[in-house]
Amino acid sequence: MFLRCTPMARGALFLTLSALAPAFAAEPPPAQPAPEEALDRRIQGLSDELLSPFCPGKTVTNCTSYQAYQLRGEMREMAKEGLSDEAIVAKLRAAFDTEERKIANPAQPWYTFFVPILPFLLGGLLIVWVFLRWRHKRPQGEAPVLPPDADKLARLRAMTAAEDE
């Protein structure tokens, strides 16, 4: 049937199919994460930020104590009740912050801004230094001036005297 069509009909069919092709090739919209998955991600992010009151120096996520597990469950229940992240942190601070231990991460000093930039800065300075050394060549024909060594000088004189004879 397709072979018996006129060239104009074939062209119209081709244009129609090429116009419809993007609609068939389009990807389906991404699936929305389940509310439980979104809640798990939220609690995971919050647990990664907070220091554990039970394991010094570890976050709530990294702490392996049973109390930290229970604390993550409490945080999950607070989030299910509709509390914001700030409200959850405020409640946890009220319950666990003491002079000896803090649940919130301390404020970072001002100079930590330079830590990620420092390797690039040092690398750039190294490149500039190498470029300047490369560009500062000695003039042609000049050898570096070294201090004379008495032993070497005596041997050279002896060799040249032996060649002259």
pLDDT digit string (tens) for the chain, length 165 residues: 555 777 777 777 777 877 777 766 666 666 666 678 888 899 999 888 888 888 888 888 998 999 999 999 999 999 999 888 889 988 888 888 766 666 766 667 888 888 889 999 999 999 999 998 888 776 666 666 677 788 888 888 888 888 876
Does residue 103 contact residue 72 with C-beta atoms inside 8 Å?
no
Buried b (16+ CB within 10 A) or exposed e, 28-61: eeeeeeeeeeeeeeebeebbeebbbbbeeeebbb
Nearest 5°: the CA angle 121, 125, 131 is 145
Residue 120 tokens read as 């690039």
What structural domains and CATH numbers belong to the chain?
35-96 (1.10.8.640)
Torsion (CA) 75, 80, 84, 87 in degrees, nearest 10 = -50
